[in-house]
Amino acid sequence: MEHLLAPSILAADFANLQRDIEMINSSNADWFHLDVMDGVFVPNISFGMPVIEAIGRHAKKPLDVHLMIVDPDRYIGTFHQLGASVLTVHFEACTHLHRTLQAIRDLGMKAGVALNPHTPVTVLEDIMPSMDLVCLMSVNPGFGGQKFIERTYEKVRQLRSMANQSNPGLHIEIDGGVGTGNWKALVESGADVLVAGSSTFNASNPLEAIDRMKGY
């Protein structure tokens, strides 16, 4: 299965952000992954609209925006204006998830749903056709560089089986602890979008690390 790689900008060097963005532009990576944290839904604050606007001015690949925030509906239009191609909200943060996904799609973005590690994939059964992407958190959200949760492989297999029945084109994205040692097993389990932050930007040769995780 052809898979996409989405380096997480949260792990980039913010003092040299344009340099790191241009490195991703010139690499074999596919998307920019942007984690937006509000300090309420998750115990950390990342970056907001001005930084995303600046990234968008230089990025030559799609922006994959992951909202780890409460009340994401308030900002759907804003992130569309900022150039998001994919907008992912958390199942745990949405009261009316079907309506939220429809609002994202109505603006022409791909609609994604993220699940925290403790949330079973079965909660998505009724809205499977309404999603373009599911992001499985393979660490507890909020901080980069955490250890990968092994249970994720089984969740990927279960979700891919569900998707094959009602949404065979669904992207399954893995976010957290993805690196050169486990990317292949994740793809073999059924994932097709891999978020790689620390394993990209902390590598001695980021371009080489990207190529390894792309299978080149």
The pTM (predicted TM-score) of the whole model is 0.96
How many domains is the chain partitioned into structurally? Answer: 1
* Given the residues 35, 38, 64, 192, the one annotated as active site: 35
For residue range 37-85, what is the model confidence (pLDDT) as tens digits? 999 999 899 999 999 999 999 999 999 999 999 999 999 999 999 999 9
* CATH code of the domain covering residue 199: 3.20.20.70
Instruction: Determine whether 35 is an active site residue.
Output: yes
* Given the residues 30, 38, 175, 192, the one annotated as active site: 175
For residue range 151-187, what is the model confidence (pLDDT) as tens digits? 999 999 999 999 999 999 999 999 999 999 999 999 9
pLDDT at 143 over 70: no
Q: Could you tell me the residue range of the domain that residue 174 belongs to?
A: 4-214
Measured CA to CA, the distance from residue 10 to residue 28 in angstroms comes to 19
Per-residue three-class SS string for the chain:
CCCEEEEEHHHCCHHHHHHHHHHHHCCCCCCEEEEEEECCCCCCECCCHHHHHHHHHHCCCCEEEEEECCCHHHHHHHHHHCCEEEEEEEHHHCCCHHHHHHHHHHCCCEEEEEECCCCCHHHHHHHHHHCCEEEEECCCCCCCCCCCCCCHHHHHHHHHHHHHHHCCCCEEEEECCCCCCCHHHHHHHCCCEEEECHHHHCCCCHHHHHHHHHCC
Instruction: Determine whether 64 is an active site residue.
Output: no
